[in-house]
Amino acid sequence: MNELEERVLSAMERLDDNALQDAVREAVASGFTSARIEELLQQGMSRVQKLFERGEYFLADLIVSGMMFRTALANLLPESEAVPESGKRGRVLIGVVSGDIHDIGKDIVVQVLRTEHFDILDLGVDVPAADFVRSAQDYRPDVIALSGVMGSSSVEMQKVISALAEAGIHPYTPVIVGGACVSELVMGQIGADQYARGPLDTMLFCKNVMDRKLRHE
């Protein structure tokens, strides 16, 4: 790992927003790929998560790191460089399930996917199962992403997946779940297709889905 990469990680770990944005801008100017910068940001957030688990950081610090991540990603794809519809990689429907209003993680995933040229329909927070079904029928996404943090959110995710199945949408449209309320074990229990530990997992899953579709066209 070179000095610039360590600066990105260290700035995120120290929650030094100015240093992080400077380092990310320098990385862009130096020719770092978006994927590599996203990977470094995720590693930096993992360091913050470990400090939180050890009791050295608090929930507010996790939120701050998420906001820093989101701002840094905005430097990778300014609004003026938005990709035209013809260049979009695929469609992703995303939202935080009913009863949960924690949107930092979801917003980071949205930014990562947009950086990678995916078209996103973001339903926001506290989204009932019926709204996911209705939006999926209208938007016809390639992937559906469910996010949640609260302990009860995994139950809500299962309700969404069941409703999607009843409407004939799942398993034909794969569902990926993420957030503090889920794990690989929970993923299997609620009938999801993939569990994301972070935004990069979500992005890679969506890319794989689209690659498989292209191979079968």
Contact 127, 101 (CB under 8 A): no
**In the chain, where are the structural domains located?**
3-76, 86-216
Instruction: Locate 62 and state its tokens.
Output: 């996790």
Residue 197: CB atoms within 10 A of its CB come to: 13
Q: How far apart are CA 8 and CA 12, in angstroms?
A: 6
Which residues are known to be catalytic?
A: 100, 102, 153
Provide the pLDDT for residue 81.
45
CATH of domain 86-216: 3.40.50.280
- Residue 217: what pLDDT? 63
Residue 87: predicted pLDDT:
52
Q: Tell me what pLDDT residue 124 has.
A: 96
Both tokens of 165, joined, read 């199945």
From CA 176, how far away is CA 178, in angstroms rounded? 7
pLDDT recorded at residue 62: 78
Q: Please answer whether residues 156 and 182 qualify as being in contact, where contact means their C-beta atoms are separated by less than 8 angstroms.
A: no
Superfamily of domain 3-76: Methionine synthase domain (1.10.1240.10)
Q: Which residues contact 140 (CB under 8 A, 6 or more apart)?
A: 91
| Distance in Å from the first CA to the final CA of the chain | 40
Distance CA(71)–CA(20), nearest Å, equals 10
Q: Which pLDDT score is estimated for 185?
A: 94
Q: How many CB atoms lie within 10 A of CB 63?
A: 12
What is the predicted pLDDT for the residue at 159?
97
Whether the model clears a pTM of 0.95, i.e. scores above it, the answer is: no
Give pLDDT, residue 105.
83
pLDDT for res 88: 65
Question: What pLDDT score was predicted for residue 135?
Answer: 98
Distance CA 105, CA 150 (A): 13
In tens digits, the chain (217 residues) has pLDDT values of: 699 999 999 999 999 999 999 999 999 899 998 778 888 988 898 888 788 878 898 878 877 888 888 888 777 655 434 444 545 689 999 999 999 998 888 988 887 788 778 999 999 999 999 999 999 999 999 999 999 989 899 999 999 999 999 999 999 999 999 988 899 999 999 999 999 987 778 988 999 999 988 887 6
